[in-house]
């Protein structure tokens, strides 16, 4: 085989290898794009909250956010739920943005569970609590200096929340919290003074 034939023979081999490599990359990308991903969802667990008594003796109610995966067989890994924005009703009654950032919420029983969760089966995180004496407190994992997490008395808040994982993120939801500052012991009585709900698009 002369030098010319050797050149073209090597050229065709290198071209075939290059085409094969590119094809393998495209196929892997196609499979990755077509592979089903987890579908994370958020909702308020119980509108009436969960009453309990702290070691200090104060009566409180905890309100939780329920985190679940519509595709339970495809687990979402390293999941955290983030508070990304807080709006509050001002003196004129109009909502205004008072904080924006990214701070994760506590998981229920955070002291005994990992900070990053794997979600096939559903889990709950702490959203806020109301105490007979201490008032309303949001419950992020830590409180940035710029975030006022506590309220005493009447308030209306809108929380922007999102579950994030390695594989996929949930939609951002808005949760409205309204409280007239009054504490009641029973579920039904407390619901007359405190309301918590997920807002639909366009709802305020």
Residue 167 lies in a domain: yes
Q: How far is CA 2 from CA 6, 9, 143, 145, 167, in A?
A: 6, 11, 76, 77, 55
**102 and 124 together in one domain:** yes
CB 160 within 8 A of CB 172: yes
Residue 108 lies in a domain: yes
Domain count, the chain: 2
C-alpha 129/C-alpha 139 separation (Å) is 7
**169 and 92 together in one domain:** yes
**10 and 62 together in one domain:** no
The encoded tokens of residue 102 equal 């990214």
> Using 50, 70 and 90 to split pLDDT, how confident is the model at 11?
low
Residue 204 lies in a domain: no
> Look-up: residue for tokens 């956010």?
65
CB 25 within 8 A of CB 158: no
DSSP-derived secondary structure for 50-80: EEEE-TTS-EEEEEEEEEEESSTTS-EEEEE
**45 and 101 together in one domain:** yes
- pLDDT of 8 over the 70 cut: no
Q: Higher pLDDT residue, 90 or 105? A: 105
**88 and 66 together in one domain:** yes
Residue 45 lies in a domain: yes
**51 and 80 together in one domain:** yes
59-69 and 40-44 strand pairing: antiparallel
Domain that holds residue 81: 40-199
User: If you ran DSSP here, which 8-state letter would residue 109 be given?
Assistant: T
Residues 160-168, mean pLDDT to the nearest whole number: 97
- Tens digit of each residue's pLDDT (9 = 90 or more) over 27-43: 555 545 567 899 999 99
Residue 60 lies in a domain: yes
Residues 92-119, mean pLDDT to the nearest whole number: 94
**158 and 183 together in one domain:** yes
**130 and 181 together in one domain:** yes
Beta bridge partners of 199: 174
**56 and 31 together in one domain:** no
Average pLDDT, the chain: 89
**86 and 29 together in one domain:** no
C-alpha 96/C-alpha 88 separation (Å) is 5
DSSP-derived secondary structure for 146-167: T---EE-SSEEEEEEEEEE-SS
Q: Lowest mean pLDDT of 11-15, 79-83, 101-105, 186-190, name the range.
A: 11-15
The pLDDT assigned to 116 comes to: 96
- Count Cβ atoms within 10 A of the Cβ of residue 185 and give its class: 0-12 exposed, 13-18 middle, 19 or more buried: exposed
Collapsing DSSP to helix, strand or coil, 102 comes out as strand
Residue 155 lies in a domain: yes
Residue 22 lies in a domain: yes
- pLDDT of 193 over the 80 cut: yes
Q: Report how far Cα 21 is from the mean position of its chain's Cα atoms.
A: 39
**45 and 140 together in one domain:** yes
**12 and 74 together in one domain:** no
Residue 169 lies in a domain: yes
Q: Report how far Cα 130 is from the mean position of its chain's Cα atoms.
A: 21
């Amino acid at each position: 085989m002369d030098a010319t034939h050797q050149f073209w023979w090597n050229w065709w081999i290198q071209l075939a290898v290059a085409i094969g490599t590119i094809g393998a990359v495209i196929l892997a990308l196609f499979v990755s794009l077509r592979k089903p991903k987890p579908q994370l969802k958020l909702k308020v667990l119980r509108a009436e909250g969960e009453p309990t008594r702290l070691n200090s003796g104060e009566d409180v109610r905890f309100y939780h956010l329920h985190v679940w995966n519509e595709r339970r067989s495809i687990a979402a890994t390293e999941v955290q739920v983030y508070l990304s924005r807080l709006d509050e009703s001002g003196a004129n009654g109009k909502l205004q943005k008072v904080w924006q950032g990214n701070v994760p919420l506590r998981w229920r029983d955070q002291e005994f569970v990992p900070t990053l969760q794997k979600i096939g089966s559903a889990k709950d995180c702490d959203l806020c609590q109301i105490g007979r004496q201490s008032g309303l407190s949001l419950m992020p994992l830590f409180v940035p200096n710029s975030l006022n997490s506590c309220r005493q008395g009447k308030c209306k808040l809108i929380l922007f929340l999102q579950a994030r994982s390695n594989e996929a993120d949930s939609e951002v939801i808005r949760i409205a919290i309204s409280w007239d500052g009054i504490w009641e012991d029973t579920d039904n009585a407390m619901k007359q003074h405190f309301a918590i709900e997920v807002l639909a698009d366009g709802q305020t």
